[in-house]
A = this chain, B = another copy of it.
Amino acid sequence: MAEIQQLADDGPDYVLEKQVGHLLRRAHQRHSAIFQDQIGGSQVTPLQFAALIKLADLGEVSQNQLGRLIAMDAATMQGVIKRLAARGLIHRRPDPDDRRRLILSLAPDGRRLADGALAAAAEITRLTLSPLSADEQRAFLSLLERLAE
């Protein structure tokens, strides 16, 4: 009896809203929106921010090296670096020891921007994780880290 009802109107067994891929995309979407809200004014995107922060930490690296460190495709890197250099936030100079490489470094404006954005970073993380309790946040980050290759 109940079985017949269920067979007749079961709905799809594949529920998009429960799929990891969809949820990862939405969570990332939500984080980007929060980032935009908090940092948007200073005109820097999440990827550009990552590049600036990493550069501030390392001092000098080649373009591809930096790309690997922030998990960015060489082709994508091209565009990101070009835009940052066009705005005078980073410097590019050829590596004398390896003429294939471009050595990147932070320009003063880039350092200022990175410092400013860094101040907002804690709040961005806080807001992103705010639906979870402190314990849940730790658990989530630990699991997520293992899914991020």
Whether A139 pairs with B141 at a CB distance below 8 angstroms is no
Bound-complex Cα distance A118 to B129 (A): 32
Chain B residues closer than 8 Å to A30, beta-carbon distance: 147-149
A29, B11: Cα distance in complex, Å: 30
Identical chains in the assembly: 2
Chain B: minimal CB distance from A37 (Å): 13
Chain B minimum-CB-distance residue to A19: B125
- Interface residue stretch chosen among A52-60, A78-86, A89-97, A102-110: A52-60
Nearest chain-B residue to A24 (Cβ)?
B28
Give chain B nearest CB distance to A12 CB in angstroms: 5
Q: Is A87 on the interface with B (CB-CB < 8 A)?
A: no
Q: Which residues of A contact B (CB under 8 A)?
A: 11-12, 14, 16, 18-32, 35, 46, 50, 53-54, 56-57, 70-71, 118, 121, 124-125, 128-129, 131-132, 136, 139-141, 143-149
Please, could you name 5 A-B residue pairs with CB atoms under 8 Å apart, sorted by A? A12-B56, A24-B28, A26-B71, A27-B144, A30-B147
